[in-house]
Amino acid sequence: MDVAPDLLRRARKFALRAGLLAAAAPVAVAAAMTVTDAVRRRMHPLTATFPTEKPLTEHVEDTTTTIYTYGADLYDAMLEAIRGARHTVMLETYIWKDDTVGRQFKQTLIDAAARGVKVYVVVDGFANLVVPRSFFNFPPDVHVLRFPVFRPGMLALNVRKSGRDHRKILVVDDRVGFVGGYNIGSMYATQWRDTHIRLEGPAVWELRNAFVDFWNRQRTGRLPQLTDVGSDTWLPHLRAARNAPSELVFPIRGIYLDAIDRATSHVYITQAYFIPDHDIHDALLAAATRGVDVRVLVPHRSNHVVADWLARGLYTSLLRGGVRIFLYQDAMVHAKTATVDGRWTTIGTANIDRLSLTGNYEVNLEIVDPALAARMEDVFRLDLTNARELTIEQWERRSGLAKVGEALLSPLRPLL
């Protein structure tokens, strides 16, 4: 009797079961963590007060820039801009809550359209699945593009059909523009530490162009096409880097790598979800090795527990390599910012993780200006007053169970 075929079948069956178990384990652990964290967040919500800076203004040639680190201040400025609109309002957001702040934005847009302003709105369908669809019903003179949850090609893993619209942009009259990490909602107004920037002047074209390109590529036949006006102003030291999966363009990752590679003094990074890929991870370690002061500020506890645990899986190598990690306390820090050597700054919508850097539609401003960088470094130092540094000695004393959890979840890192 020839037993070889039977043994081969058994081996294949065993390998299949082992593979399924290996794939299921991290998903099961992630699901259990998510449920447990949801209970914990109900019992211990992230509602503590935190230090904030008043809006900070600098000038980059003919463009005035203002940094916002408190949501209520930002929303006041955005609503004021919409109320003063005479010609156009272009608003793009990832999450838009049906709450007091969300309804205020909705009504202000409706009022603008009623007085003859052309209003265009982009909202991500997936991010707002928990928001009643009726909330996004506007009068016909408000043009709404709901970026669809599912698109043809997604199930076939077509990269051009992947990604969410994670951007947050407001452009009014081609004169004033806003971009940054803030979504729209009452919770973000007072309970989250985030960063947005306001532009007034020629550089607003960078944000207008980002909105128009996305609108024209994604609109359906019922929505009007927007005019691409071009720009006679070139500011190589203030530009928008735009990730666009449909065009296979992902420059934000590149600007981070280039800036970190240039660093000779210091790198200050603030991130909500910090899961760097191999190249960014190695670039940070290389910078620390050559004597650069590399500091990363992240939430001690974010609103996505799985992202927290995936980030922690990289802490050992980063801390041993000289990267300093600071944990923001008792509140969610959601900013996506960095400064390098007191000259280079980025502010925008992209996290340092796979979803943002090689997946979603994102936009980050890249600004080379010492005065603005100094302002952002002041913000970073203020944030550190509400953070504690995680040392390698403290980290290596974590429980064995924590180490097992990090190992089990590590296969999910390429997905997030």
So which residues are the catalytic ones? 166, 168, 173, 334, 336, 341
In the DSSP assignment, the letter for residue 247 is G
Q: Is 190 helix (H, G, I), strand (E, B) or coil?
A: helix
- Max Cα separation, the chain? 88
Q: Which helix H or strand E contains 41, and what residues bound it?
A: helix 4-43
Q: Which helix H or strand E contains 138, and what residues bound it?
A: none
d(CA 260, CA 266): 9
Question: Quick one: tokens of 190?
Answer: 């007072």
3-state secondary structure 343-384: CEEEEECCCECHHHHHCCEEEEEEEECHHHHHHHHHHHHHHH
Strand 362-368: give its sheet, edge to edge: 238-243, 362-368, 344-348, 337-340, 266-270, 293-299, 324-328, 387-390
Q: Which segments within 300-359 are labelled E, that is strand?
A: 324-328, 332-333, 337-340, 344-348
d(CA 268, CA 194): 15
Q: Is 176 left (phi over 0), alpha (psi -120 to 50) or beta?
A: beta
Q: Are 77 and 176 in contact (CB under 8 A)?
A: no
CA dihedral 335, 337, 338, 342 (to 10 degrees): -110
Question: Quick one: tokens of 11?
Answer: 């081996």
d(CA 385, CA 69): 15
